[in-house]
Amino acid sequence: VQEMLPTLRRFRDEVLRCGYLKALAERLQVGEEAVMMEFRKFQQSPAWNERSGENKTPQVSVPANITSAEWQILKLMLDDNGWIIAARQSLETGDFQHAGGRMIVEKIFDHYDRYQRIQPAVLLAECEEEQTRQFLTALLVDDENAAGDKQKLFQDCLQRLKADRRKGRRQELLKAISQAEQKGDWTALQNLQEEFTQLTKTS
């Protein structure tokens, strides 16, 4: 419990905070009141007071190297179940180049399959790895919502993800083609060149 409570410093939304505590109690198979008692103790500790002043804004640390398109699609899915359905129809987890992004989208899909809706607090409480909790927390506390047509935003981000994946695959193929040439593996070389040509046509 102690290692998970610091996450709550980041939340100004009391509904999300309470939901997280409830989900945490269920996950640990302990009484909700016991978790609340630990939380109240933590609120009175220096660790809470040093970082949770009323005038302080929780710092959002966007993971390094994640693209804006990946970040925005993850935020959309956490905000609305409809975007999860749209993403399942249009995306593969492999479309996310960022390893952390792939992990989060896998967890979102799995969570939706089990509950048929997104429950951010429960999803967060189910994350065992600290790095994953930090990633998900950053998404949840990032309240900078993109203005405008969200359908267009989703489609634009989707196209960007697909284009980035094709670009990455082309780079992999060029490297593999070079290696096949050096080894004199002409069968592999032909297959790789055919895939590269086909991929270029669809770009």
Domain residues of the chain, as ranges? 5-51, 68-141, 164-202
Q: In angstroms, how far is the first alpha carbon of the chain from the final one? A: 49
- Copy the structure tokens of residue 56: 């302080």
pLDDT tens digit string along 7-29? Answer: 666 666 777 778 777 777 776 66
Q: How far apart are CA 60 and CA 156, in angstroms?
A: 24
Which of 198 and 130 is assigned the larger pLDDT? 198
Task: Give the alpha-carbon dihedral of 62, 64, 66, 68, to 10 degrees.
Answer: 50
The residue among 133, 119, 114, 1 whose CA lies nearest residue 61 is: 133
Q: Examine the pLDDT at 128 and tell me if it is beyond 90.
A: no
The residue among 31, 30, 12, 8 whose CA lies nearest residue 20 is: 8
Where residue 35 falls among pLDDT bands split at 50, 70, 90?
A: confident
pLDDT tens digit string along 55-112? Answer: 444 455 678 889 999 999 999 999 899 999 999 999 999 999 999 999 999 999 999 9
0.75 exceeded by pTM: no
Least confident segment among 43-47, 132-136, 166-170:
43-47
- The per-residue b/e assignment along 115-149, b for 16 or more CB within 10 angstroms, e otherwise, is eeebebbbbbbbbeeeebbbbbbbbbbbeeeeeee
Strand, helix or coil for residue 6: helix
Where residue 120 falls among pLDDT bands split at 50, 70, 90?
A: confident
